[in-house]
Amino acid sequence: MTSGRAIPHLRERGGGSILFTASIAGLIGSPFSPVYSAAKWGVNGMMASLAGRLANDNIRVNSVCPGVVDTPMLNVFMARPDQETDRDTNLAMMRKLTPLGREAQPEEIANAALFLLSDEASYITGVALPVDGGFVSK
């Protein structure tokens, strides 16, 4: 695991930041993809455990939890043959459930990640940050 390899180096330099990529499915579950959701809950569990363990080493550990993001993965997920509706109908439904009414662009997820890794977030650890246009707030 990459974080395990990084920890000794971060300790040597007196601290740093580790960031995991999870998903809102790891915060609220997903009836459409329970295995994916379980995996992302595991990512957030690992993050929280490491945050507690590494805080005394001045190592911050957080995760970014994207919602619906305009990527090739989204297109594959929205058009799965086991779905009862087509891609466009599924995407319209997701937009309706998202208070900001649209999917994120990859750059928006990257900006949240950069913030969590930066010194601007120096007092943030153990946080699973939803970057989801307000989806989990509904």
Tell me, yes or no, if 123 is annotated catalytic: no
Total H helices, total E strands in the chain: 6, 3
Per DSSP (E only), the strands in the chain are 16-21, 59-66, 128-131
Catalytic, out of 3, 6, 33, 36 = 36
Q: What is the DSSP letter of 78?
A: H
Distance (Å, rounded) from C-alpha 16 to C-alpha 9?
Answer: 9
Residues carrying an active site annotation:
36
